[in-house]
Structure 1
């Protein structure tokens, strides 16, 4: 009565402590394979005069410096074109992009000339685009990584530009004295690049800065799991397999002569109806709270599918191993599922074993599907396709498990009777 509950709770809470603290304590240390797009549109320019003219492309130099400067074990820097970068931003495959414009070399050359020749000049620009639809935490990591890399590159470009300007200021033998470089000009060319931070496709109001998809997915998972447990308990009570107790009121109906298989079919039927009703309720609540839902039918269907898959699997687990199924469901869907979902802290900023869990953990699949519908216009490549097929796979596993185990128990004559009372 004492040791068994103590042992179970000790193991469960230890697992909770490891899973929930390990994934959030040090995201910078855990960073790995964090995808960022690098787009170099610079067409280059011709600098110098007369015989000293030469073709340069500072964009290529910066792209090479970035590729060399960012830690390869932490950042997956993808050097791609602008069209592909936009596609990956629109499908949530990258957390942001660094864009070098087509006139970068031209502007940098003008800046060098303008430091000694009067006139209005503009600093060359590099755009640091964030993808807020991948989540607020991912955006912060993108900004931190991007700013650190571009600050170092800016120093290198400034040093190179200063050397070039100083070389051009050296007068030929016997020629007129060269113009002097002012202190302000030296400061300007030492820090030549202006980094512009820009949100790509900003989120509308009512999205919780990218957290609404995570909490909506959490609602679906909890509804499927808790709903299964409630259905399991209440139907067993009505069939007389467990007592019913509300406050001082207690009743234990006589056991109903029904097979395990048919009992599970009843529970599945109730779960099927419940999932569709709850899916509609969540839509109504979301609309009442002014949560942006551009594809209500898509969200309704996916939500119902996800809850049915989770609910059926939970009910099958309970039918297979009884009360111990409560702990198994809790560990599978909540303890392991929440930290590996990627809904708050990106998977790429958690220990690597979370990425392994995310391959099959239901919470991650449901989150990807909901996020695709709410933030990425229902784009199949943004996670909806994976969410649907993984939900169907989970539903299939639940169905097979329930059918096989209950049929086996029935064939073996393992009826649900109180043998101690008999």
Structure 2
């Protein structure tokens, strides 16, 4: 065995390990530092009130403070109406919303008056809506953003309200403000954090969409490798070992293009069966599936797209295609899928991969079907069309490469770089 044959696998594995570490460890190691353009809606419904004969609107002041205080490079704060905010939450366009209600100023004024006037009173409320269907990690990021922003708002509003009350009662009436009242007006706003649409039972906090995506992709990816190996063995292009048995039938006179068509036919026939198996397992395990036909149809398309492309890569690059497929569909696919950590919280070298990576496109469509009622705007449209584009690219690559090989006479004959010694008798 030569030194090159020994060191080449080690060098390849070293490069592969470095790529794995860079993609997977960088993916989740510092989401706070990597956070950028995280879309959040801000809704100010406050109608204002008249206080001491003067118009006042504390909701508008808080909205302005939030817009100024939330770092623009971290958060894409969208000031919208309540109807637009709900539409963006339902379409998966924002990860959450901060809502200031219509009676905010009125309740805040009542709270200030209650510091010196006895009676029941409720603190004004600001609601923080998170969108758990966007992914299991997004709700935590939304909560941290809201907590930090509203903590400063709480302190500022409390100080202003305290000053207003002291001005109203005057120095001689300051003693009438109880300690409990001082605490209440210093911390005047009640923050309510709640999901916009709670996750249904059996959804695994949203992870079910990720794992359904994973099994579809693995069905196409591993299915392509199995089909490639078995068909090549049956046609006599590669030997097959069964334990101690070695089988190598005569090579069939089949062109590269025709061989690829045979393999595509097998994965095409298997795809609807595999998609039906996944759907049946999901139903048996209690996974909420509101659109089973749509999920089955898209699952079939996804398996075909991945399988066609993986087989085209193998037909084009041969043994090297195994590594190319592994990197394309798995190594680069998982970190850029946005299935756990959103793209707005991953390093800059990972986010661009989502524009073409198959796993991200499949995840968008599967998540829309499972968690957003099949809403086209929630990712189904993009996932569907990008899956079709991926299929077309795979078909074009496979037909183009194998046709070129056949035209140049590069048939799949047995060739060796060194003489093969005869086996000992």
TM-score range, shorter-chain basis? over 0.9
Aligned counterparts of 2:328 and 2:344: Cα–Cα separation in 1:
21
Partner in structure 2 of residue 76 of structure 1? 76
**Contact persistence 2:314–2:321 (CA under 8 A):** yes
Give 1:205 shift: 1.0
Aligned residue in 1 for 2:54: 54
Match of 2:313 in 1: 317
1:305 aligns with 2:301: yes
SS at match of 1:291: coil
* Residues in 1 aligned to 2:21 and 2:116: alpha-carbon distance in whole angstroms: 62
Q: What is aligned with 2:401?
A: 405
The answer for the alignment partner of 1:42 in structure 2 is 46
Q: What displacement does 1:93 show?
A: 1.2
The 8 Å contact of residues 108 and 123 in structure 2, kept in 1 or not, is answered as yes
- Alignment of 1:12 with 2:8, yes or no, is no
Classify the secondary structure of the residue corresponding to 1:93. Answer: coil
TM-score normalised per structure 1: 0.96
State the partner residue of 1:235. Answer: 231
How many angstroms apart in 1 are the aligned matches of 2:77 and 2:261? 51
**Counterparts of 1:289 and 1:339, CA distance in 2:** 27
How far the C-alpha of 1:178 sits from its partner, in A, is 6.8
Once the two structures are superposed, the pairs formed by residues 301-380 of structure 1 within 5 Å of their partners are 301-380=297-376
Query: How far 1:353 sits from its partner (Å)?
Result: 2.2
Q: How does 1:27-38 map to 2 (within 5 A)?
A: 27-38=31-42
> What is the total number of aligned residue pairs between the two structures?
414
Residue matched to 1:265: 261
2:423 corresponds to: none
For structure 2, list consecutive stretches of 5 or more residues without a partner in the other structure: 421-425
2:220 counterpart (224, 227, 245): 224
- Report the Cα distance in structure 2 between the residues aligned to 1:75 and 1:260, rounded to whole angstroms: 52
Counterpart in the other structure of 1:64: 64
Deviation, 1:248, is: 1.4
Q: 1:66-88, CA deviations, whole angstroms, 9 ceiling, x for partnerless residues?
A: 11111111111111111111111
For each residue in 1:182-220, what CA deviation from the matched residue of structure 2 results, as whole angstroms up to 9, or x when unmatched?
Answer: 111111100000001111111111111110000100111
1:138, distance to aligned residue in structure 2 (A): 0.5
- 1:244 and 2:248 correspond: no
Which whole-Å CA distance do the structure 1 matches of 2:207 and 2:286 have between them? Answer: 15
Partner of 1:141: 141
Distance 1:137 1:230 in 2: 35
- Helix, strand or coil at the partner of 1:23: helix
Matched, 1:295 2:295: no
**Structure 1 residue 130: Cα displacement:** 1.1
After TM superposition, list the pairs within 5 Å mapping 1:92-111 onto structure 2.
Answer: 92-111=92-111
Deviation at 1:305, TM superposition (A): 0.7
1:179 deviates by: 6.3
Aligned partner of residue 94 in structure 1, secondary structure: coil
Name stretches of at least 5 consecutive residues in structure 1 with no aligned partner: none
8 Å contact 1:116–1:179 — kept in the other structure? no
